[in-house]
Structure formats: C-alpha cells, structure tokens
Amino acid sequence: MATMAIFLIGLWSLAFYFMGLMREDMQRLIRAQQYSTVSYVATDVNQELSKRFDALEQVAASLGSAMMGNGAALQAFMEQRWVLPWLFNGGVSVHSIDGTVIADVPLSTGRIGVNFMDVDAIAATLKNGKSAIGRPLMGKTLHAPVFGMTVPIRDAQGIVIGVLAGVINLARPNFLDRLTQSRYGEGGGYLLVAPQYRLIVTGTDKSRIMEALPASGVNPSIDRFIQGYEGSAVLVNAHGAELLASAKAIPRSGWLAVASLPTAEAFAPIQGMLQRWLLVTLVLTLTAGAVVWWLLRRQLKPVFAAVDHLAAMSDPGKSLHALPVADGEIGQLFGGFNRLLETLGQREEALKESEFRWKFALEGAGDGIWDVDLGTQEAHHSRRYLEILGYTEGEFKENSSEWLVHVHPEDKLHLMAHVQTYFEGKAKTYSAEYRMRCKDGRYKWVHGRGMAVTRGEDGRPLRMIGTLTDISERKEEELKLAKVEGDLWRALRKVEQKEHSKSRFLVATSHDLRQPLFAAQLMVDSLALTQLDSHQLNSVNKVQLALKTMSKELQLLLDLSRLEEADVHINKAHKPALDLFETMADIYGQMAQQANVRLLFHVGEVALYTDDNMLSRLLGSLIDNAIKFSPGGTVLVCVRRSKAGHKIQVRDNGIGIADIHHSAIFEDFYQIGNEERDAGVGYGLGLAIASRIARLLGIKIHVSSALGKGSVFSLAMPN
C-alpha cells in the first residue's frame, strides 16, 4: 500500500506541476496576444488623430490677418474646404483672439458669435500657441458629448491671432467607432481613456462614454495604468467584473487604448485543457492503482499467509515453528526467519540451562546474593542470604527503599558514603563492612558489595546486584588481635622506658670513666718523657695506644647513648650549607693518607649541599670505618642521582664482615659489631651510631660484604 501511495502521490504531483507550468505559459501567451491587439488599435487611433491635426494645420496656414478681419471672406473660405466636415462630424470653427467664433461650417451648428474661452483646448492653444485635444464634455450648441482638436492661427510675424478648432461628436458616428465598435472576444471590448482627466472617451459600450474612472487609490490596477503602465493585468472594474485588461498609450493625444476580456472567457481554454488533463490523470491513477494492487496482492500473498501464521503462533501456549518457504525474495526472507527461529530456540535452551546453573550456584554459594529490579522495586534474596540473617523463605521483606532499616544506626552514614561514592562514578562497585540486624534482634557483621546493571544506549541503571558475606568470626578475631596488640604495645613501652634508663646510665657512666681515663693518659705521657730503655719505652707506647683506643671507643659510646636519649641538638641557623663530598674529602683525606689507603670520590657533577651535622656524621662514620678496616687498600665513595633521590655508596676492599654474603638492610649494627669484636678488630660502636643516625634521618642502609673481600654500604636518600 505504501508503494502504491508513493506512486500515486508522484503521479499527481507531476500532473499538478505540469498543469501549473501550462497554465502560466498559456496565460502569458493570452496576455501577449491581447497586448498586441490593443497596440494595433492604439497605433491606428494615433494615425487618425495625426491626420486630422495635419488637415487643421494646413487650413490654419492659409488664413492670415486680412482674412481674419473679413468675416464674409472667411466664412466663404471655410465652406470651400469640404474635407473638413468629413473629418470632423461636429463641424469646424474659427475663433478670434478672445475665443469668439467668427466662422463656422456647417452654419447649422449655431456657434457663430458664441465665446468658447472656457473650453480648455481653446484657452490652451491661444495661450501657448500649440495644438491640443480638449477634455471630453457636453457641447454648448450640440448638447452632445464632444471633444475638440485645436491648432493656432498666426499672422505673418508668427503671432497667434486666432484658433482653428475641429469638433468630434461622440454621440454620432465618427472615426473612433470603426476601431471601438468591434468586440474583443465574446464578452470583451475596447476603451479609449483620457488618463489626465480619469475619463472614458469612448468604447465598444457607448453607455460608458465620458464615464469617470474610480478615484485614485480605489483600484490599484487602474491606478497603475493611469500612471503610465503599458502591459496586461487582471483587475476588477467598477461593475465588479474580473477582467484581463491590456493598455497601450496613444502618443498624439496622451490617451490610453484599452482592450478587456472577462477572465472566465480569457482563461476558458486553459480551464478546459486542465480539466482534460485531470481526467486523464484520474484515469491513469485508477488504472495504475488497479494494476499495482493486483501485482502487490499477488506478490504479497505469501506474506499475508505468514502474518496469519505468526498471529496464530502469538497465542499463549503455542510453540514457534517454521514458516512455509515461498519462491523469490520473500522465500529467502522466510528462510532467514526460519533460521532465526532455530537460533532463538537454541539460545532459549541455553538460557534455560544457564538460568538453572545460575540458580544452582546462587543457592549453593557461601555468600548471600541479592538482586533488586530498580523499575518494579522487587527484590530476590538467595537462601544463603536469608540464613545469614536467620530468616526463612517468605519472612524477609526488603526493597530498594527499606533495606537501610536492617543496618545498625552507627553504620548507616558510613555505608551510605560508600554507596554515594559508587553512584558518583568514583568506583566501579561499592564495598563496605557494617552490621545488620538478624531476625532475633542481634546485629551481625557483614561485608556488602554491590553494582548496577545499566542499559547500553543511555547508561540508565536497570538492576542492582550484590553479595553479602558473614564476617562475624573475622571481626571477633580482629578484636582479640587488637587486644593482644594493645598488650604488646604496653610491654614495648615498658621495654623502651628501660632502654632510656639504660641510655641515661650509659651517659652518666661515660662521663665518670672519662675523668680517670684522662688522668691515666697524663701519667703515661709524663712517664714517656723520663729516661727509659727501649723495652720500657715500647711498653709505654703500647699503653698510650690502648688508652687512645679506649678514649675513642668511650667517646663513641657517649655519642651512641646521647642518640638513644635523643639528646643530640643540631644548630642549623648559624652554619652555612657546604658540599658534603668536598667536606668529607678534606676531613678524611689526611687520615686515609696516614693509613696508606687511597680515598677516591666519584661524584661527577653531583653536589649535595647540607648543613646537617648528623648527615655528615653518618657518612663520616662509614668512611672512617672503611679506612680503619682497609689497611693499604682503596675506599671509593660514589654518588648517583635519580628522581627518587640520591644513592651514596661507600666501597672498600678491606677485611670484610664475616657471614654476610648477600645484600641486607641493617636495622641495627650490633650484630656486625659483635662479629668484628670476635675477629679481634673492633667493637662495632661506629656502625651502631651510623645505624641510629640513619634511622633518625629516614635513610635506608644496604650492606653487602664478604670476609676478606671488602664491604659495600649503600645509602638511599629520598629528596
């Protein structure tokens, strides 16, 4: 049906389009034909007027002052001009300079002695000395509608001495009747119009002689012709008739020649042709419609049968089965539909199996599962969900607007904050731990997770699904663990207090030991100045070396105790920032030279400016340790800078540290100190101090060492 409708709409649209084009073409042709006819009439009238003006001018040229002064001679002269009455059916008269008639032919008009100075043509010619055509009016002596044609009479000097006037009586047959008495078409005709007076001079319809045209502004189409338009237009005349009118100007008189024809008559051929065209279009429409309907009915017969077949299958309880396959494209369509039915059947079976597996998994899962339809607010809860809260089937009522009722009041804000984060798009799912009220009124800790299932086109959420996990046992264990951690923290506080007491004791003891040690050094130094033999001097030197070593270790012990007590105060306000590596090279360069150790710095363009005494003490402790335990060897300090910060390494090829063959992070160097002491080399207090400084500064120290192969200490310093 749609195809047929499209065909018929196209056919009728094409018909109306061509009908419109043909109507416009024929109207243009009719207008051009009418304008051509009225142009011929205007030309003919203009020639007749010119002929009469020429005759008057020839007669006026024969008159002079002498004849104008002799009335009898003038009358005789005029009567001898027999052509004039033939040209002017209203007679010809000679007017003196004051407008009075002094000669007239024929004499029967009775114009001799009558003054015509009030006639516009007579007055204009006497005043301007030019030929003129007067306004149509009722004649004074003829008592009929007339208009006059006047030419001036001049003397030998060219001065106007009178007027020769010819009169056209419009009530009697005249030269204009030959042009206007014929009709234009069945109901049309011609008019001569004087636009300067808005008067009809004459026309096919004699009753319209001297008829006044509508005032200006009443009929725009007539006003357009009066203003000088030459052409065709459709207008309504004073009698209310719609006309097709054409106008052409007559130059000699300033008149308009007008041909008019009722539009019903003018466009009658067009209407007849359009009616025939519509009839043909209607016949074609009916014929084409019948043929197309028959063809479509024949072609779509299998489709109608398939529609009935599908309608029968749409009843509840009816199974889907294949459609009968026809020939052609429709048969291919039905074949594709049958294959689609087969695929849908397979998917339905798979969906049923998947639904069965989903329900089986849902009921057998360790977590409770819930599913809420956001459109209907219907909720489904798995058996495990109900078991967690102590409910049975049918006892638990919950929808998307009431589930918060079961949440512990203290946990609601916390839970809603997680849900709001999800809905704002900051997380793909929401996950929170909270307490829910069970059937018996107790609250149980659960871990809830949820997400929305959205529609692909507009992203609108359709369902909310999620799980509920019972975490009551874990929460109980966490409470127990928190209690144990609290007990452990209190125990550690007691140990820490004891360590601080020990540190304060070490500080006091160090100060007490330094006084006798200083006195012993003075005694040994004074003893070395006395006269001793070589054996005694060697013994004194050994005692001096032992006392110096003890003094140095005692100073390290005092520094360590101060660090433990957090009694190290750094004044940065009055110390300029110096390059750390240049400072270390200056301080430990001479010490390395005395110990026969090569101290090298490989820092490239890296410069680390600092006014931190603790950082200088840390690096200095590692360099001092490397020099001490690498006699005759090499100590290398190298620096590498990265986005994370600086990495400083202190490498030596000295005696190394026993039982450390891999990289490790030193939390405490006491163990290394013990190993060194077992080896008879040192007490490890320097490394212990380095460990404490690193811990205070947040610097991690990595060490790699092997006995007899040297050590590598690495400092990772953040920006």
DSSP per-residue string spanning 352-389: HHHHHHHHHHHHH-SSEEEEEETTT--EEE-HHHHHHH
Are 352 and 344 a contacting pair, CB within 8 Å? no
List, for residues 665-676, the tens digit of each pLDDT value. 444 443 343 344
What pLDDT was estimated at residue 329? 67
Average of pLDDT values for 429-456? 83
- 365-393: average pLDDT: 80
Phi-psi region of 114 (alpha: psi -120 to 50; beta: other; left: phi over 0): beta
Six token digits for residue 242: 């719609």
Write out the two tokens for 194.
């004087």
Which DSSP string corresponds to 660-709? Answer: --S-EE-S--HHHHHHHHHTTS---HHHHHHHHHHHHHT-EEEEEEETTT
Beta bridge partners of 258: 191, 247
Lowest mean pLDDT among 226-235, 260-269, 297-306: 297-306
In angstroms, rounded to a whole number, what is the distance separating the alpha carbons of residues 682 and 628? 10
Q: Is a pLDDT exceeding 50 seen at residue 663?
A: no
Local confidence band at 480 (pLDDT 50, 70, 90 cut-offs):
confident
| Bigger pLDDT: 589 vs 397 | 589
Q: Which residues, in sequence order, are CB contacts of 438 under 8 Å at separation 6+?
A: 389, 390, 444
* 571-718: in CATH 3.30.565.10: yes
E strands, 6-86, are none
User: What's the pLDDT band for 457 if we cut at 50, 70, 90?
Assistant: low
Within this chain, domains 63-169 and 571-718 share the same CATH topology: no
pLDDT at 605: 67
Supply the pLDDT for residue 664.
41
Least confident of 339-348, 472-481, 669-678: 669-678
The band of 102, judged by pLDDT with boundaries at 50, 70 and 90, is: very high
For the residues 43-63, what does the mean pLDDT come to? 92
Mean pLDDT over each residue of the chain, to the nearest integer: 77
Q: What is the DSSP letter of 441?
A: S
pLDDT at site 675? 40
Residue 276 near residue 270, CB atoms below 8 Å: no
Kind of pairing between the strands at 379-381 and 368-373: antiparallel
φ/ψ region of 680 (left if φ > 0, alpha if ψ in -120 to 50, else beta) reads left
The residue that leads in pLDDT, 9 or 660, is 9
pLDDT higher than threshold 70 for residue 198 = yes
Residue 698 has pLDDT above 50, yes or no: yes
How far apart are the C-alpha atoms of 365 and 388, rounded to whole Å?
12
**Mean pLDDT along residues 20-29:** 74
Query: What is the CATH class of 365-470?
Result: alpha beta
User: Tokens at residue 226, please?
Assistant: 């009066």
pLDDT surpassing 60 at residue 505: no
For 217, the token pair is 């502004």
Bridge partners, residue 464, by sequence: 372, 452
Which tokens in the block code for residue 192? 């001569």
Higher pLDDT, 591 or 239: 591
Model confidence at 315: pLDDT above 50: yes
**CATH of the domain spanning 63-169, picked from 3.40.50.150, 3.30.450.20, 3.90.245.10, 3.80.10.10:** 3.30.450.20
**For residue 106, cis peptide bond before it (omega within 30 degrees of 0):** yes
Indicate whether 331 pLDDT > 50.
yes
pLDDT at 609: 66
Contact 592, 598 (CB under 8 A): yes
User: CA 362, CA 159: separation in Å to the nearest integer?
Assistant: 132
Q: Would you call 231 helix, strand, or coil by DSSP?
A: strand
pLDDT of residue 126: 92
Q: Where are the domains of the chain?
A: 63-169, 308-357, 365-470, 478-551, 571-718
Amino acid at 3: T
In contact, 200 and 273? CB cutoff 8 Å: no
Q: What is the pLDDT of residue 651?
A: 92
* DSSP string for 152-208: EEE-TT--EEEEEEEEEETTS--TTHHHHSS-BTTTBEEEEEETTTTEEEEESSGGG
Question: Quick one: CA torsion of 689, 694, 700, 706, rounded to 10 degrees?
Answer: -20
More confident residue, 570 or 257: 257
- Name which of 412, 413, 437, 417 is nearest 427 in CA terms: 417
477: three-class secondary structure by DSSP:
helix
Q: How far apart are the first and last CA of the chain?
A: 82
pLDDT of residue 114: 92
Is the pLDDT confidence value at 298 over 90?
A: no
Which one is predicted more confidently, 255 or 540? Answer: 255
Q: Parallel, antiparallel, or unpaired for β 634-641 and 598-602?
A: parallel
User: Is the pLDDT reported for residue 351 higher than 80?
Assistant: no
Q: Give the torsion sign (CA, 53, 55, 57, 60).
A: negative
> Looking at the predicted structure, is the pLDDT value of residue 678 above 70?
no
DSSP-derived letter for residue 100 is B
Section 453-478 average pLDDT: 77
Highest average pLDDT, of 270-274, 583-587, 593-597, comes from: 593-597
Instruction: Kindly report which listed range (6-15, 392-401, 405-414) carries the lowest average pLDDT score.
Output: 392-401
The rounded distance, in Å, linking the Cα atoms of 203 and 213 is 13
Q: Decide: 92 and 155 in contact? Cβ < 8 Å.
A: no
The pLDDT assigned to 58 comes to 92
Q: What is the DSSP string of 500-519?
A: HHHHHHHHHHHHHHHHHHHH
CB 190 within 8 A of CB 198: no
Mean per-residue pLDDT, 178-189? 75
Strand partners, 465: 371, 451
Q: pLDDT for 632-641, tens place per residue?
A: 899 999 988 8
**pLDDT at residue 694 greater than cutoff 90:** no
CA 26, CA 493: separation in Å to the nearest integer? 117
Residue range 550-574: mean pLDDT, rounded: 52
Residue range 329-357: average pLDDT? 70
Under a CB-based contact definition with an 8 Å cutoff, are residues 607 and 579 in contact?
yes
Q: Which residues of 57-84 are buried (b: 16+ CB within 10 A; e: fewer)?
A: eebbeebeeebbeeeeebbebbeebeeb
Please check the confidence at residue 362 and state whether its pLDDT lies above 70: no
Q: What is the arithmetic mean of pLDDT over 213-235?
A: 88
Please state, in angstroms and rounded to a whole number, the distance separating the CA atoms of residues 284 and 645.
93
How confident is residue 685, by pLDDT bands cut at 50, 70 and 90?
low
Better-scored residue on pLDDT, 573 or 177: 177
Lowest mean pLDDT among 144-158, 536-550, 608-622, 698-712: 536-550
Q: How far apart are CA 231 and CA 249, in angstroms?
A: 10
Q: Where is mean pLDDT largest: 39-43, 265-269, 484-488, 542-546?
A: 39-43
Joined tokens for residue 106: 């024929």
Q: Which of 215-224, 481-490, 699-708 has the lowest mean pLDDT?
A: 481-490
Q: What is the pLDDT of residue 256?
A: 92
> Looking at this protein, which amino acid is placed at residue 372?
V
- Which residues, in sequence order, are CB contacts of 311 under 8 Å at separation 6+? none
Confidence of residue 115 (pLDDT cuts 50, 70, 90): very high
pLDDT at 679 over 50: no
Beta bridge partners of 598: 634
CA 92, CA 79: separation in Å to the nearest integer? 10
Question: Is it the case that residue 267 has pLDDT exceeding 60?
Answer: yes
